[in-house]
Structure formats: structure tokens, C-alpha cells
């Protein structure tokens, strides 16, 4: 039998430890159950609830912009230097962006299907992960449009 000596034996021992650790890690991953569709669905629903909290802010800004649009003549009387045509255009553009964000959310909610009848667990998990990405994009859009409309309304102390 051949015996390894010195540095070679040490490298051999380290390599064996590494291989054992790698095998253990692979075994742990292999034994870990796959994602559960219920967990994924719950995460999507929680995210939806967070976005709906911002929905209230979005609607509030829509109403403030609508009121501002209706009171532009009064605003001009109070401050004749205000370019009401420019402001009307800016208000309408801001309203359109808020409306589009709201419509995306409504569209997502109408198309979202929490019932997974006829799908395997893996198919359901993939579906809910994709829906999580979609609602994430809507959340980002909501936040951006709320921030932009808040900044515009602040200009008029609204």
C-alpha cells in the first residue's frame, strides 16, 4: 500500500473534506422540497395588498388634480403670472399617467387567477412567480407616478 507523505497527504485530506462537504451540500439541496404554490400565491397576495395601500394615494392625487383643474380660473385670478394653458396641459398629462397606472392594476386584478385547478404544483409556482413580477412592475409604476404627482401638487400646496 502506498502512503502519502507531507504536503501531498495534507492536500489529499483537504480535497477529501471538500468533496465530502460538496456531497453533503448537494444532498441537502436534493432533499429540500420544491417551492409550494400556496406560499408563492400568499406572497403575491401580500404584495397586492401593499400596492393597494398605494392605490389610495393614487386616487387621492387624481382627485386633487381634478379639483386643481377645475379651479385654474380662480388660480389665475389670484396669480395672473400663472400660465393656465401650460398648467392645464401638465395636469392632464399627470392625470393620464395616474389613470394608466390604475388601469394596469385593474387589468392585472381582473386577469389574476388564484385558482390553480388543472395545474401541477410546479406550473402553479411558475404562474405565481410570474404574477409576482407583474405586480412588482405595477408597484414601481405606482410609486413613480405618486411621487411625480405629489411633486406637481406641492407646487400648488395641494
Supply the DSSP string of 71-110, one letter for each residue: THHHHHHH-TTS-HHHHHHHHHHHHHHHHHHHHHHHHHHH
Q: Out of 24-28, 103-107, 108-112, which region has the weakest mean confidence (pLDDT)?
A: 24-28
Q: Do 23 and 64 share a domain, yes or no?
A: no
Please state whether 118 falls in left (phi above 0), alpha (psi between -120 and 50) or beta. left
Q: What pTM, to 2 d.p., does this model score?
A: 0.74
Rounded Cα distance between 140 and 21, Å, is 41
Judgement on whether residues 99 and 21 belong to the same structural domain of the protein = no
- Among candidate residues 112, 114, 116, the one with its CA nearest the CA of residue 104: 112
Q: In the structure, what pLDDT confidence band is assigned to residue 30 with cuts at 50, 70 and 90?
A: very low
* Cα angle, residue 80 at apex, residues 75 and 84 outer, rounded to 5°: 60
Task: Give the domain range for residue 16.
Answer: 1-32
Rounded mean pLDDT of 108-127?
94
Q: Could you tell me the three cell numbers for 145?
A: 407616478
Residues 99 and 25 in one domain: no
Of 45, 51, 35, 49, which Cα lies nearest the Cα of 126?
35
String of b and e for 54-87 (b: at least 16 CB within 10 Å)? bbebbeebbebbeebeeebeeeeeeeeeeeeeeb
Based on the domain organization, do 128 and 58 belong to the same domain?
yes
Residues 52 and 120 both lie in one domain: yes
Are 6 and 75 part of one and the same domain?
A: no
One domain, residues 67 and 98: yes
Enumerate residues 6+ apart whose C-beta is below 8 A from 4: 12
| pLDDT tier at 60, thresholds 50, 70, 90 | very high
pLDDT average, residue stretch 108-118: 93
Is the same domain home to 23 and 73?
Answer: no
- Co-location of 120 and 81 in the same domain: yes
Confidence of residue 107 (pLDDT cuts 50, 70, 90): very high
Same domain? 100 vs 143: yes
Give the pLDDT score at 76. Answer: 81
Q: Report the number of distinct structural domains present in the chain.
A: 2
CA separation for the pair 14, 11 (Å, rounded): 5
- In this predicted structure, the answer to whether residue 138 has a pLDDT above a threshold of 60 is yes
Res. 149 pLDDT band, cuts 50 70 90: very high
On whether both 19 and 67 belong to a single domain, the answer is no
Check whether residue 70 and residue 8 sit in a common domain.
Answer: no
Answer whether residue 148 shows pLDDT above 80.
yes
Amino acid at each position: 500500500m502506498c502512503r502519502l507523505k507531507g504536503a501531498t497527504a495534507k492536500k489529499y485530506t483537504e480535497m477529501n473534506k471538500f468533496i465530502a462537504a460538496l456531497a453533503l451540500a448537494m444532498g441537502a439541496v436534493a432533499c429540500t422540497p420544491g417551492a409550494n404554490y400556496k406560499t408563492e400565491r400568499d406572497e403575491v397576495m401580500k404584495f397586492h395588498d401593499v400596492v393597494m395601500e398605494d392605490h389610495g394615494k393614487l386616487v387621492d392625487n387624481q382627485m386633487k388634480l381634478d379639483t386643481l383643474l377645475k379651479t385654474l380660473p380662480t388660480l389665475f385670478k389670484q396669480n395672473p403670472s400663472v400660465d393656465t394653458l401650460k398648467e392645464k396641459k401638465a395636469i392632464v398629462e399627470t392625470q393620464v399617467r395616474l389613470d394608466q397606472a390604475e388601469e394596469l392594476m385593474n387589468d392585472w386584478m381582473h386577469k389574476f387567477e388564484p385558482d390553480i385547478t388543472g395545474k401541477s404544483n410546479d406550473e402553479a409556482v411558475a404562474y405565481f412567480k410570474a404574477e409576482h413580477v407583474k405586480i412588482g412592475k405595477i408597484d414601481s409604476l405606482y410609486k413613480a407616478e405618486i411621487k411625480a404627482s405629489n411633486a406637481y401638487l406641492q407646487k400648488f400646496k395641494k
